[in-house]
Structure 1
């Protein structure tokens, strides 16, 4: 990593700010009860749902970030890149609700996700899991500062659990992407389909999941989870051109394509 990064104190202050904003977003979320909310769809054939909660949480986060950091860029799932007046090295990446279909169905498997990139490098991440989950609370991390659930350190370790017994997250279409033989060679036998990449990445960071495999994830699905897993001692890898390479940063093309 050859890029000149911000001072540690700057990164730490951003982590504190992300944690504060996520707690505020949680209060917005409480105004919307699963099963009593309207749902619309961005995709064809009633796919890719969006709720009023998604929109209001994103509006809240955008407003707060723009007031505190007017020159920073913002990428969010429900709208486009903002604040392009200057070429800021800082980019906030927001997913107001990753796992909207679960939320709308009353299934407590979703996450509010906020990450910060510095010239494409994830430097801060925060994620909130639902209040009905035993994992409820803010998970947060900053580059070089460790990963935490609230104020308790977390580690991406299965402890004494045998690797073959570890649980791994996979996408719904995993059978088309990975053969059972490929998964078995990696010691992966127990698999789960949760419907939220951000939720799965949080479980990896805290050691509940051995791994999480996904394809087609957008930058807002993974930006916060990458730094959380990395700071918890885990690894994040990309499969490109037939081989695995360790993730280092998002390039300009990736960020631009997710405007």
Structure 2
């Protein structure tokens, strides 16, 4: 690994760990919160962690760009080869409810590709780290996906009722496991072998998944948008059109089922509008 990447990795891991400690110090403290938009909460803790990370990372790497959920976007990041992609608290709802399903998420993106990633989930005692081409770890232990190839009995971080929703053209023979509010932690469950697949039909943001997607691929999994396209980061509009994360053997079928479900749901909505 080039010396610059080794130094960047050390910086990222230390920043993630320290940011997790800062967030944990504010956890369950009735911090002030408000909605940025309906159903999209933010708190003083999100802002404090964002400010800390921007100061720590940009002071150390002033030539890198910055993309964060809690910072006004600056188009100048598009001119930078390397960009920090940050969600200071992914899973703010769980944070505010006193639940453990949130994490600090940091990725370093180079030429549109995530090359370093870390998730700090301090209430769970978890620190996930990945380096492109060098694997992924959970608390310094190597991490790998389950390797499951059979669709029947697969596990997913999903609400149990989601498995039987009427828009699925085919029933799921699957097990619902814990679903943290953090999208990154749901993906990390697949990366660590706690789950076999995760799917999200809605459009999401780059900062939600940049670090976790690298964790998954470095743990041997496969990830794409809902249409099966490879992920790219630091785009002008930092939006990802859905997500499929799974073991390599399951990915194509999970993606197919998600596509069929979205098509069926869209047809129902069109029919309702035409009534």
Secondary structure of the 1:75 match is strand
Deviation per CA, 1:1-33: give whole Å up to 9, x if none: xxxxxx643323322211100111022113313
- Give structure 1 stretches of 5+ with no counterpart: 1-6
More strand by percentage: 2
Offset at residue 118 of structure 1 (A): 0.6
Show the counterpart of 2:145: 156
Asked if the contact 2:77/2:83 (under 8 Å) is kept, the reply is no
Pairing 1:29-40 to 2, within 5 Å after superposition: 29-34=23-28, 36-40=30-34
Offset at residue 172 of structure 1 (A): 10
Match for 2:130 among 113, 133, 141?
A: 141
Alpha-carbon separation, structure 1, partners of 2:183 and 2:118: 14
- Give structure 2 stretches of 5+ with no counterpart: 241-275
TM-score of the aligned structures, taking structure 2 as reference length: 0.77
Alpha-carbon separation, structure 2, partners of 1:74 and 1:226: 18
- The aligned length equals 239
Distance 1:256 1:104, change over 3 A: closer
Alignment RMSD, CA only?
Answer: 2.9
TM-score of the aligned structures, taking structure 1 as reference length: 0.81
Pairing 1:27-176 to 2, within 5 Å after superposition: 27-34=21-28, 36-44=30-38, 47-82=39-74, 84=76, 87-131=79-123, 133=124, 136-157=125-146, 164-170=152-158
Answer with 109-118 or 174-183: which moved more.
Answer: 174-183
Q: Which has the higher contact order (CA 8 A, sep 6+)?
A: 1
Show the counterpart of 1:228: 215
